[in-house]
Amino acid sequence: MNGKRVFITVGTTKFDKLVKTVSNSDILNILHKLGYNQIQFQVGNGSYIEAKHDTIKLSYNTYFEDFDSEIEKADLVISHAGAGSCLQVLRKKKPLIVVVNDELMNNHQVELAEELEKYSYLYYCTCNILKEVLLKDISKLVTYPTPNQTLFASYINKCMGFA
């Protein structure tokens, strides 16, 4: 099937509002206009009703054994604001829209999303404005840098006098 694929993930949480929002015909029509024809939902432990759409294939799964594979197959990822999910997607160099769950109390996830958006690594929003954010140009997002795997070891070696 030609076209582009979206991966929606709520992680291990319950974020039915995100699943319901993306399953809405207005959002699906925008995604279709943007060239997407497949959406894979990872719905966690939430409860949801599978939606149907004339031009987009919608698939729903609770969890994936190979989460990285789902990210790699995606042309766009729409995720909850969990740090693990965000970093996993960014390290795979995939465009990312983070949807903050505004129903959580003391939501520290907003701070992470704000910081990552400040550097143009992702766009973030709430379910209420996802429609507007989908219309932003994802090609303007900056690729997340590859971490230096030897930095910490080099620092320890220097401190110990080995370097």
Strands 36-42 and 57-61 turn out to be: parallel
- Residues 115-152 have pLDDT tens digits of 999 999 999 999 999 999 999 999 999 999 987 777 77
- Residues 25-55 have pLDDT tens digits of 999 999 999 999 999 999 998 888 888 899 9
Q: Are 34 and 108 in contact (CB under 8 A)?
A: no
Q: Enumerate the β-bridge partners of residue 36.
A: 4
The pLDDT assigned to 105 comes to: 61
Question: Which CATH number does the domain housing residue 63 bear?
Answer: 3.40.50.2000
Q: Enumerate the β-bridge partners of residue 115.
A: none
The mean of the pLDDT values for the chain is 90
**Spatial separation of the C-alpha atoms in residues 113 and 24, rounded to whole Å:** 24
**Two tokens, residue 15:** 């974020």
**Spatial separation of the C-alpha atoms in residues 58 and 5, rounded to whole Å:** 10
pLDDT at 163 > cutoff 70: no
**Spatial separation of the C-alpha atoms in residues 113 and 100, rounded to whole Å:** 8
Domain around 12: 4-160
**Spatial separation of the C-alpha atoms in residues 97 and 77, rounded to whole Å:** 6
The pLDDT assigned to 1 comes to: 53
The DSSP line for 112-150 is HHHHHHHTTS-EEE-GGGHHHHHTS-GGGSPPPPPP-TT
Domains identified in the chain, total number: 1
pLDDT at 107 > cutoff 80: no
